Amino acid sequence: MARTKLDAILAPGSSASAPESIIWTAADTVHGNYFESSGKDLVLARNVNGSGSAAVTIVSVPDALSRLGDIVTTVLFANTKVFGPFLAIGWRNTEGDISLDGAAGIEFAVIALP
């Protein structure tokens, strides 16, 4: 089954007159999630569970030397973690996307840097 798409917001940059709102989306714990890679993306993950911690995985792809390096971490309750920026090399798959997985209670937001 296909992963569920996350829509990125474009960071407003230093000359913007108004900030952008962060769009939080619950992790698809069955199929996983993805977003279209801009080559300069930040991933935010927060745990909205009432207690405990939950796992987050950002899936790597082989680089020119066939190296892999998935990011697997734990997000504690009431905590937000920032990952990236993710460049294309080592992260963007052949469809132009970056895949990520989150446990129940995880919400993601993706920010494309200008």
The tally of domains found in the chain comes to: 1
According to the model, what pLDDT value does residue 76 have?
Answer: 85
In a domain, 17, yes or no: no
In a domain, 88, yes or no: yes
Query: What is the domain range of residue 100?
Result: 4-10+22-112
Angle at 112 between CA 17 and CA 79, to 5 degrees: 95
According to the model, what pLDDT value does residue 77 have?
Answer: 83
According to the model, what pLDDT value does residue 51 have?
Answer: 79
Query: What residues are paired with 58 via a beta bridge?
Result: 71, 100
In a domain, 15, yes or no: no
Q: Which residue has the tokens 């200008």?
A: 114
Give the CA count within 13 Å in the CB-facing half-sphere of 86. Answer: 32
Task: State the CATH number of the domain containing residue 84.
Answer: 2.60.120
10-residue block means of pLDDT along the chain (114 residues)?
Answer: 94 82 96 97 93 92 91 88 95 97 96 93
In a domain, 16, yes or no: no
According to the model, what pLDDT value does residue 50 have?
Answer: 77
Q: How far apart are CA 30 and CA 32, in angstroms?
A: 6
